[in-house]
Structure 1
Amino acid sequence: MAQLIEIRDLSKVYERGRQKVEVLHHIDLNVAQGDFVALMGPSGSGKTTLLNLIGGLDVPTGGSISVGGQRIDQLKSAALAKWRASRVGFVFQFYNLMPMLSAQRNVELPLLLTKLSAAERKKRAAIALQLVGLADRASHKPTELSGGQQQRVSIARAIVSDPMLLVCDEPTGDLDRQSAEDVLALLRVLNRDHGKTIVMVTHDPKAAEYAHRTHHLDKGSLVGQAETSAVAA
């Protein structure tokens, strides 16, 4: 299977005053197209930093990252932002929805960066909301939705531009167990039936069971990989 993500000798160093903190140490990682990968490890292990580098939200100090054949570590800021907007969908723990906008308008937000007409943006947002099971909540604002519904709106927003990669940072961390399972089942459908490659950071072993494999980080290094028996559909 073709590799979507190829990471070689990746390092990340942050400077805090005169102190240098190396958060990631010489990471090598491949993620195949159509894979569903979980990143696990204790707090401070570098999981979110690695996820942000994969999604183009940050840039490495050393090494290389290729996504879909594109060396994103070599892109300048403006080019990286354009690549990120067209190739990656982001799902965060706390939804990051605009409170004064309806679900429909929240989902449309990434499309404002495109040349699509207002009618086409609305049509695509409606399709994305239907896909996540919230077509009947399109006019509702975030405060009128449950936590699980808000996360599904954020997933609709993440997929509305048809990205090749979804990066998810603790997508179930703020949800009760049933809502978490509903969101994870949705991610599995997007992976299995719609071919989305997913990289997910999680502290929850039950969430990691939905992935095909789990990579463990500790103190900025990859320390192990485990195949998972995906939760039954």
Structure 2
Amino acid sequence: MTISNNSTIELRGVSKSYQRGKSKVPIFDELTMTIEDGDFVAIMGPSGSGKSTILNLIGGIDTIDAGAISVGGTVLGNMNESALTRWRSNHVGFVFQFYNLMPMLSAAENVELPLLLTSLSRSERKKRVETILEIVGLTERARHLPSELSGGQQQRVGIARAVAADPQILLCDEPTGDLDRKSANEILELLQLLNTKLNKTIIMVTHDESSTAYAKRTLFLDKGRFIQQEMNQCA
């Protein structure tokens, strides 16, 4: 199963619910949305509105109850688990609020982790890691452990790891939620750079309204539905 160069994301009539005890709790009911290749979308909404669930569904981590999700024409529901895992490792990068770095590995080793699953040689992996660390401004911190880095630097490592395999799509779940304002802005500027210069498609869930200014558009989610959209001046 392959994906085309065009990574337009489409959700069509998507329904999703979770089991809570004996009851089913609906999250989405026939949700439809399109995110074009190269877009940078911020998603805001109250807690429990389904923001993170959208990321998990698009990234193939969670499954839908009904409807269809396609990326570049590839329907995720048509793939078995092993095919979905291969697709995800090649085409999607995840950026989390709390970095999820391996504490015993250096910055460079953390970035290299997803490349160990590829056919790249050791020298090719080394060159790729050096290039990515340069892009995120951490060349001089390559041998430092996470504990020796600031929160903003750790998140830069997390972003570098997310783009190591050169995915087209970055799914960012509250990527600045644990950072001070200065560090947060630096991370947002980096995401904007990846979008504008490398044409990465970025979907960012955030509770911070000021962070949305770095995206091309902002979608507001409430009770499983998009209730508003704003186009941003930075685009």
TM-score range, shorter chain: over 0.9
| Structure 1 CA distance for aligned equivalents of residues 197 and 120 of structure 2 | 26
What per-residue deviation string (whole Å, max 9, x for no partner) do you get for residues 156-199 of structure 1? 00111110100000000000000000000000000001110100
* Residues 1:152 and 2:156 are matched in the alignment: yes
Residue of structure 2 equivalent to 1:19: 23
Conservation of the 8 A alpha-carbon contact between 1:37 and 1:211: yes
* Residues 1:60 and 2:61 are matched in the alignment: no
Conservation of the 8 A alpha-carbon contact between 2:7 and 2:168: no
Conservation of the 8 A alpha-carbon contact between 1:188 and 1:210: yes
For 1:193, which of 197, 202, 207 is the aligned residue? 197
Paired-residue identity, %: 57
What per-residue deviation string (whole Å, max 9, x for no partner) do you get for residues 106-138 of structure 1? 000001111222221121111111110001100
* Paired residue type of 2:212: A
| Structure 2 CA distance for aligned equivalents of residues 75 and 13 of structure 1 | 21
Residue of structure 1 equivalent to 2:93: 89
| Structure 2 CA distance for aligned equivalents of residues 73 and 92 of structure 1 | 24
* Residues 1:166 and 2:159 are matched in the alignment: no
Residue of structure 2 equivalent to 1:211: 215
Taking the TM superposition and a 5 Å limit, the aligned residue runs for 1:60-79 are 60-79=64-83
User: How far 1:223 moved relative to its partner?
Assistant: 1.3
Taking the TM superposition and a 5 Å limit, the aligned residue runs for 1:122-161 are 122-161=126-165
* Paired residue type of 1:96: N
Residue of structure 2 equivalent to 1:109: 113
User: How far 1:3 moved relative to its partner?
Assistant: 6.6
| TM-score normalised over the length of structure 2 | 0.95
| Structure 2 CA distance for aligned equivalents of residues 73 and 53 of structure 1 | 10
For 1:177, which of 163, 181, 196 is the aligned residue? 181
* Paired residue type of 2:188: L
Residue of structure 1 equivalent to 2:3: none
Residue of structure 2 equivalent to 1:34: 38
Cα RMSD, aligned residues only: 1.2
| Structure 2 CA distance for aligned equivalents of residues 16 and 216 of structure 1 | 25
What per-residue deviation string (whole Å, max 9, x for no partner) do you get for residues 194-228 of structure 1? 11010000001111111111111111111121111
* Paired residue type of 2:158: S
Question: How many pairs were matched up?
Answer: 230
Residue of structure 2 equivalent to 1:100: 104
Conservation of the 8 A alpha-carbon contact between 1:3 and 1:30: no
Which consecutive residues of structure 1, in runs of 5 or more, have no partner in the other structure?
none
User: How far 1:73 moved relative to its partner?
Assistant: 2.2
| TM-score normalised over the length of structure 1 | 0.96
Conservation of the 8 A alpha-carbon contact between 1:91 and 1:158: yes
- Tell me the secondary structure at the aligned position of residue 24 of structure 2: strand
Which consecutive residues of structure 2, in runs of 5 or more, have no partner in the other structure?
1-5
